[in-house]
Amino acid sequence: MARVIVVLDASVLIAYLDNGVHFASAVQLLRDAADVGDSLAMSSVTLAEVLVGPVRHGTEKLGLDAIAGLGIVEAGSPPDAALALARLRARTELKLPDCCVLLAAQTSHAAVASFDGRLLAAAAAINVPIRTA
């Protein structure tokens, strides 16, 4: 498999950090990406979503360390992000945070990893590759 960028949805990292219902799948996704040398990225909004729990519990340093330890980088936004997000929201009817994932993937020419079926279906519908465990 060729090296690619994988944009993570919050569901993947939250499952990993919280040992949630999708923990095993999250570990497999992250392990598979590491095994082939894929780069991991998240939108700023998605990173903020993931960090809400650790901030609430006073463990934000642990959350930040886990993100850094996985090599996850913050995906940049294009100059026309507001309009691009509005177009994605109108086209997909997804919530804005999910549109941020799609935009990060489009901008980075990346695949999307998520446990959200609606997000994965929308990604496939607009020709954004998807990654599952």
Task: Using the CB atoms, write b or e for 62-86: b if 16+ within 10 Å.
Answer: ebeebbeebebeebebeeebeebbe
CATH of the domain at 73: 3.40.50.1010
What residues make up the domain containing 100?
Answer: 5-131
Number of domains in the chain: 1
H-assigned helices in the chain: 10-18, 23-36, 44-56, 60-69, 81-92, 96-108, 117-125
Residues 122, 87: Cα–Cα separation, whole Å: 13
Reported as a pLDDT band with limits 50, 70 and 90, residue 6 is very high
| 10-58 tens-digit pLDDT | 999 999 988 889 999 999 999 999 998 999 999 999 999 999 999 999 9
- pLDDT value of position 4: 78
103 sits in the region (left: phi over 0; alpha: psi -120 to 50; else beta) called alpha
pTM (2 d.p.): 0.92
